[in-house]
Amino acid sequence: MAEALGTPTDNALSEYADLEAELADPAVHGDQARARQLGRRYAELGPLVAAIREQETVRADLEAAREMAAEDKEMAEMAVGLEQQLAELDVVIRDLLVPKDPADGNDCLLEVKAGEGGDESALFAGDLVRMYTRYAEQRGWKVEVISATEGELGGYKDIQLGVKSRDPANPVFGRLKYEGGVHRVQRVPATESQGRIHTSAAGVLVLPEAEEVDVTIDQNDLKIDVYRSSGPGGQSVNTTDSAVRITHLPTGVTVAMQNEKSQLQNKEAGMRVLRARLLALALEEQAAKDSAVRGAQIRTVDRSEKVRTYNYPDNRVADHRSGYKANNLAQVLDGDLDPVIQSLVDADTAAKLAGQETS
C-alpha cells in the first residue's frame, strides 16, 4: 500500500487504487483469507471513493457554471444548486472519513441470554432471536444456530447465532454491534393470570467473527475437557463424551459446546466462538490503550443496566443510548430494526466527529 502522505481524500483514492490493482492479481486469490480481507476493505472504501469522485465532478461543473453565470441566468441558478450539492457532499465525505472500528466489516456471533424474569425472560429472549433473524433476512444475511438451550416454556435460556454476509458491501458487525447490552421488556406474561405487567430482561452480546488469520491461538495454551452432553435438568442425552469445554489458559476465556453429536464438531464450534471472544478482547484492550472506549457492551443481565426497552402496553420501543423512541413495537420485533440502529450509528459518528474536533 502507498504511504499516507497527502490529504485524507487523496490517501483514500490512493489506497482504493492499490486495492483494485491487488485484487486484479490472480495470485492474491490463492490466499482466500487475504482476498476476503482486501475485498472487505475495498468495499468499505467504495462509498467514500464514489463521493469523492462525485465531488470532483460537481466542483468542475460549478467552476464552469460560475464562469458563465454573469451572462447566463440559467447558469447562475445552476451554480446555486451545485453549491448546495457540493456542501452536502462535503458533509457526506466528512462522515465517511470518520475512522471505522477495525472489525466493522466482519461477520459476527450474536449471543442472547435470558436474565431476570424466569420463563418470561426466556420467552423474551426467543422474541429477540426472532427479531434478529427477521432483520438478517431483510439485510440478506445468513443466520445459523451454533448452540442453544431452550426454556421450559419456550424461547431460550441461552443461544449463540452466527450471522454472515454474502456481500462485503453489506457488513454484519458494523450494524449489529450496537445491539450489545441488556434489553428490557414490559408486558403481561403468558404465565400471569391477574393481568399484571411484569418487567424482565435478556442480555445480548455481539462479537466480531474472527478468521484464523485474525487471531493466533497456540494449541499449548488450550485446556480441552470432554464430557457427556446433558439435556434439561441435567439429563444425559448422549452416551459418549461428545461435549467439549475449551479453556484459553493465558486469558481464562472458557467456551463449552454440546449441541453437535460429535466431539470434533463441538470442538470446531467451540474454537470458532473462542476466536471471536479473543478478537473482541484484543480490540477492547487496544481501544482502552487508545482511550477510545465509548461505552462497552453490558455483560451482566440486570434490569437496571438497560440499553433498550420494549413496552407492550404503550406499543413503544425506546433506546436509552441514542434517545430513539417510536410507537411501532410490532414492526421492530418483526425485524424493522434499521431506524433504531441508524440512530445509534448517527450518534456514534457524531461522538467520533466531536472527538476529532477536540483532539
3-state secondary structure the chain: CCCCCCCHHHHHHHHHHHHHHHHCCHHHHHCHHHHHHHHHHHHHHHHHHHHHHHHHHHHHHHHHHHHHHCCCHHHHHHHHHHHHHHHHHHHHHHHHCCCCCCCCCCCEEEEEEECCCCHHHHHHHHHHHHHHHHHHHHHCEEEEEEEEEECCCCCEEEEEEEEEECCCCCCCHHHHHHHCEEEEEEECCCCCCCCCCEEEEEEEEEEECCCCCCCCCCHHHEEEEEECCECHHHCECCCCCCEEEEEECCCCEEEEECCCCCHHHHHHHHHHHHHHHHHHHHHHHHHHHCCCCCCCCCCCCCCCCEEEEEECCCCEEEECCCCCEECCHHHHHCCCCHHHHHHHHHHHHHHHHHHHHHC
Strand order in the sheet with 108-114: 141-150, 156-165, 108-114, 198-208, 181-187, 306-311, 316-319, 325-326
pLDDT in tens, 205-264: 999 988 766 778 889 999 999 988 765 444 445 556 789 999 999 999 999 988 887 889
The third-level CATH classification (topology) of the domain covering 108-352 is: Alpha-Beta Plaits (3.30.70)
The third-level CATH classification (topology) of the domain covering 8-96 is: Methane Monooxygenase Hydroxylase; Chain G, domain 1 (1.20.58)
The predicted structure's pLDDT at residue 240: 64
Cα three-residue angle 96-110-140, rounded to 5 degrees: 60
Cell numbers standing for residue 106: 466482519
Mean pLDDT throughout 30-38? Answer: 85
Q: Which of 171-175, 277-281, 295-299, 324-328 has the highest mean pLDDT?
A: 324-328
The predicted structure's pLDDT at residue 112: 96
The predicted structure's pLDDT at residue 2: 44
Give the distance from CA 70 to its chain's centroid. Answer: 52
Contact 168, 334 (CB under 8 A): no
Distance between CA atoms of residues 346 and 242, nearest Å: 45
pTM above 0.75, yes or no: no
pLDDT(5) > 70: no
pLDDT in tens, 248-290: 999 999 999 888 878 899 998 999 999 898 988 887 776 665 5
pLDDT(291) > 70: no
Q: Which residues contact 217 (CB under 8 A, 6 or more apart)?
A: 248, 271, 274, 275, 278
Strands 253-257, 325-326: pairing is unpaired
Based on C-alpha coordinates, what's the Rg of the chain? 24
Domain ranges across the chain: 8-96, 108-352
pLDDT(293) > 80: no
Identity of residue 358 = T
Q: Which residues contact 258 (CB under 8 A, 6 or more apart)?
A: 147, 229, 230, 238, 242, 243, 244, 266
Provide the pLDDT confidence category of residue 58 given band limits of 50, 70 and 90.
very high
The predicted structure's pLDDT at residue 295: 43
Mean pLDDT of the chain: 86
Provide the pLDDT confidence category of residue 160 given band limits of 50, 70 and 90.
very high
Least confident window among 21-25, 207-211, 262-266, 353-357: 353-357
Mean pLDDT throughout 298-317? Answer: 76
